[in-house]
Amino acid sequence: MKIKPVAIVVLTACWLGSPVAAVGQNQTKAKTPSPTQAKKELDEAKAKLKDENQDLDKAEKEADKAEAARKSAATKVQQARQAAVIEHGRKLGLPVATGRRDAASRALESAHSASARQVRASGEHQAVAKAADEAKTRLESVRDDAALSDEKKKQLTSDLSKIIRAPVELERERLEADPQLRDLRGKLAEANKELVVIQGQVQKAAEDDAGVKTALQHEREAVEKVKAARAEVEKHKKEVAAAQKKVATENQQLQSAQSKAAAAAKSKKGKSDGKSQ
């Protein structure tokens, strides 16, 4: 069966008059707010953005305070450790051990200087020192001697360099063999060993100190507060970004509503002018 054109027109008219068609038309109209409504929504978005910026500023200030508190707590840990080292070091004999080490070091340095002067004043050392001076002069002439082959220069340079180093080598050998210096080096090594042991004991005692433990706990708490404050800042940054996006969207909506309202007014005026003519 074919539907006549007249029937199609009637059915279409009925459908347009139905509640479903009316809802569709209302929804289409709802998508475009009036300029007044769009301006209101833009103002609300701007107010929201202002509040979010204020909240972000407050969160950043709280984060700065938390970071300052963390730094203060870290300083107090250092101070507590220093105080604990002094206190426990005194109890465990650290100043005495340090004094023994320093005394042994000064004794070795003094004896070393005296022995070195004796070695340099000896006839043996003076002889090798004189030979070294002559070798330095000879080495300069060898380098400038164009008549010598490169291989010969290399050999002479090696031989003369050994002679030049001889005074230093002789002094080192004599000082290493000196029985007094060997004894003093041994005493310094023992003093250092004792000091290292006591320093380890003092360090352990300082870390177990009640004041240090309390300061460390406060520092850990301060670190956690900094983490929480920074997380709060990041959260507010995201909220500000969302509010900025909302303002941009509502601003576009307002411009669109104003454009459509102006177009509608122009169209209405045109129709009115046409009727009056």
CB 21 within 8 A of CB 15: yes
CB atoms < 10 A from the CB of 83, how many? 15
Q: Tell me, what's the pLDDT at 145?
A: 86
Q: Tell me, what's the pLDDT at 146?
A: 87
Note the helical H segments in the chain. 5-17, 19-30, 35-92, 94-121, 123-144, 150-177, 179-207, 210-276
- Smallest Cα–Cα separation from 214: which of 82, 71, 80? 80
What pTM value is reported for the model? 0.62
Q: In 113-129, which positions are buried (b, 16+ CB within 10 angstroms) versus exposed (e)?
A: eebbeebeeeeebeebb
Q: Tell me, what's the pLDDT at 56?
A: 96
Q: Tell me, what's the pLDDT at 87?
A: 96
Q: Tell me, what's the pLDDT at 101?
A: 97
Q: Tell me, what's the pLDDT at 86?
A: 96
Q: Tell me, what's the pLDDT at 4?
A: 45
d(CA 71, CA 68): 5
CB 218 within 8 A of CB 78: no
Q: Tell me, what's the pLDDT at 31?
A: 62
Q: Tell me, what's the pLDDT at 276?
A: 57
Q: Tell me, what's the pLDDT at 273?
A: 60
**3-state SS, residue 149:** coil
CB 117 within 8 A of CB 174: no
- Smallest Cα–Cα separation from 103: which of 193, 194, 188? 188
**3-state SS, residue 24:** helix
Q: Which residues of the chain have pLDDT under 50?
A: 1-30
Q: Tell me, what's the pLDDT at 270?
A: 65
Cβ neighbours of residue 191 closer than 8 Å, sequence gap 6 or more:
97, 100, 101, 103, 104, 105
> Where in the chain are the domains?
44-243
Reduced 3-state DSSP string for 70-107 = HHHHHHHHHHHHHHHHHHHHHHHCHHHHHHHHHHHHHH
d(CA 76, CA 83): 10
Q: Tell me, what's the pLDDT at 25?
A: 45
**3-state SS, residue 208:** coil
The residue to which tokens 């300029």 are assigned: 35
d(CA 155, CA 131): 18
